[in-house]
Chain A
Amino acid sequence: MSTLEIKDLHVSIETEQGTKEILKGVSLTIKTGETHAIMGPNGSGKSTLASTIAGHPRYNVTSGTITLDGEDVLEMSVDERARAGMFLAMQYPVEVPGVTMTNFLRTAKTAIDGEAPALRTWTKDVKAAMQQLRIDADFAQRNVNEGFSGGEKKRVEILQLELFKPKFAILDETDSGLDVDALKVVSEGVNRAHEEGNMGTLLITHYTRILRYIKPDFVHVFVDGKVVEEGGPELADRLEDEGYDRYAPGAGVAVAPAVQA
């Protein structure tokens, strides 16, 4: 049982206009076996939270802490975080020309486990995982994400999630840009990884659609760099019906604005 704990996290970035604070005090605790959905309108800071946990240097943590089973995550380099068991499924996976998927997956697996995977079982595992995610076998010989469609890139992210077996998976808008079929395939992959029982999931999404396939235990609503409302799965249903309008500036959270006929 592991715990990922985020406490009063403040994060800023440098822009041409100067320093801009994006996260304004976020607290969140995720335990093994739990699925947390973070929902919110564009620009609310959802993806910043994901990238900050992974250690992207664009984001400056100005105060607050992130700990993994008590260990200070903010002290770790990007690769150390991954080896400690964090996995970020990226919103926009980059193409890495010249590095084949096969080579990349094996190199990453070796780094994460601290030893090279047994060649025969590894090849078999990769093949099986690719099949389940309906990724064409010839992708193994192609360069990482090169020429992949948006949907293919997302499936490859989940392929890595299944192969690397992290303690905590952070899915940054993995559902965006996916058609229904791809969304199902990707969700099945996340659920498979979850069912192994050793993973906590932080699911960041703009839409409620993915929550039909991946059932969250907790829903957190993000607005303007803060969690403004928390609840169980029923909160997602409510967002589905009402959208984010009631969190708009000026609209009291407790009082839903009049719904137009």
Chain B
Amino acid sequence: MTDITTEKARIGAPSAQPFINGFTEEGENLSPVNTGTNTSTTSEQPSAGPLGGASAKSHSHGGGVGIPDSSRAGRLTSYKLADFKPLNGLEEDWRFTPLKRLRGLHTDVLNGAAPTVSVTAPAGVVVETVGRDDQRIGQAAIPEDLVSANAWENFAEATVVTVPAELQAESEVSVLITGAGEAPSAQHIVIVAERFSKAVVVLDHQGSAVVSENVEIIVEDGAELTVVSLQEWADNAVHASSQQAKIGRDAKFKHIVVSLGGDLVRVTPSTRFTAPGADVEMFGLYFADAGQHLEQRLFVDHAVANCKSRVLYKGALQGRNAHSVWVGDVLIRKEAEGTDTYEANRNLVLTDGARADSVPNLEIETGLIEGAGHASATGRFDDEHLFYLMARGIPEKVARRLVVRGFLNEIIQQIKVPAIEDRLTEAVERELAATDN
């Protein structure tokens, strides 16, 4: 029997350290990655440890850092790169991102070879490659940050996937996006689900790339669309992806982000309701390994009445300097009476030395809503879970895997494409097999 120093037993926990230093349930502490630097190009790794709270003082509750209007509604959006100020890393929406690992996505002209796109689509779905002047471009999205605007200014051609009105796609549309080199590049994808159509579109990111990507998603009235964005990049990939969806009347949209591979992956999904009666679900799964930075910042804009949104992101972290960031901005505007929204983020920390930042932001401008809530929790393995499983003869390692698999399966189960679900289950297995705990 081992020494137990706390009253609550810790079975098989990697250490007695109860939580990550400097981390609170609401993720109030600032990430130290960019502090003390004025320009990204000269930035040094901060001397504070990766978990340290040295920078925590620079944040005060209720006000953003570095922007006068802390409301999400007040954020600058523009198609023009020049409208955005150069990044210094202290901006509210970049404060967790290690800029020097962006490998030029925020400073260089993105004229490298864009990842190749190959689409497999069921009958009836239309796939086109179009130029910058195509009228569908700019229908659903407008860059919300500099890196997105940089891609917008530099992309050469766009892939447009259209699910025609009333088509019930019989299988998923698979968009394979394969890195074509490590010169910083720009990518543009448009997905249109026309009225009363139903489809699943999978954006499958693989290989090596340094790419900023804009994905525009139009979900027309009564359409039912699922978009799954898989980031299974090679270890050295850098990927920033702005995925903006415009949701029509009575439409259903499910968005699932799965980030497993890459050195730095930053996905920023936004959904905007444009007519009442729509229903949005946003799910996310990430598994950050040693040194990996996986960031997700989502925005749900309840701009009209009687819409519903549900958000659940779950992440596992293992290894030194594994870092995950989740920021969930939900805005209920004055007009959005009858809104029903809930967002949650759960993180499971498997080893020492990993850091999970989690910041749910809920802005409510009307009291006439159905419901609004948010939750965030980060913990180690629940020791009682582990005890229960081990008391059934299951060795600690296997028990841990069973629990992690279980933790993440809740998201995988949402995909409803058996082939993708199987593939992700295997991918999670591989991540787990890489653990040495």
Contacts and interface: CB of A to CB of B under 8 A. Distances in A.
A82 B1 CA distance: 15
A82 B388 contact: no
Interface string A60-87: 1100000000000010011101110000
Contact of B406 (A16, A99, A112): A99
A197 B322 CA distance: 52
Contacts of B403: 96, 98-99
B1 A57 contact: yes
Nearest to B406: A98
Most buried by B among A15, A54, A78: A78
Contacts of A82: 390-394
Interface residues of B, number: 33
Nearest to B399: A79
A16 B8 CA distance: 11
A119 interface: no
Interface string B392-412: 111110110011011111100
A14 B406 contact: no
Interface residues of A, number: 37
Contact of A54 (B4, B5, B391): B391
Contact of B4 (A14, A97, A108, A111): A14
A54 B11 CA distance: 13
Given A57-B4, A98-B408, A107-B402, A78 B391 contact: yes
Nearest to B385: A96
Interface in A13-51: 13-16
B135 interface: no
B387 interface: yes
A98 B409 contact: yes
B407 A55 contact: no
Contacts of B410: 97-98
A77 B399 CA distance: 13
Contact of B392 (A57, A97, A98, A108): A108
Interface in A177-206: none
Contact of A90 (B4, B9, B388, B408): B388
A103 B425 CA distance: 14
A77 B398 CA distance: 14
Interface in A96-116: 96-99, 103-104, 107-108, 111-112
Interface in B349-397: 382, 384-385, 387-396
A143 interface: yes
Contacts of A74: 1
B10 interface: yes
B7 A14 contact: yes
A82 B396 CA distance: 12
Nearest to B413: A98
B402 A112 contact: no
Instruction: Give the most central of B10, B399, B410: most A CB within 10 Å.
Output: B399
Contacts of A104: 389, 392, 402
A111 B1 contact: no
Given A57-B2, A98-B408, A79 B390 contact: yes
Contacts of B393: 79, 82-83, 108, 111-112, 164
A93 interface: yes
Q: Which 5 A-B pairs have the closest CB atoms?
A: A98-B406, A82-B393, A58-B9, A99-B406, A108-B392
Given A58-B7, A77-B390, A108-B393, 12 more contacts: A57-B2, A58-B4, A58-B9, A78-B387, A79-B394, A79-B399, A83-B393, A98-B409, A99-B402, A108-B389, A111-B394, A112-B393
Interface of B: 1-2, 4-11, 382, 384-385, 387-396, 398-399, 402-403, 405-410
Interface of A: 13-16, 54-61, 74, 77-79, 81-83, 88, 90, 93-94, 96-99, 103-104, 107-108, 111-112, 143-144, 160, 164
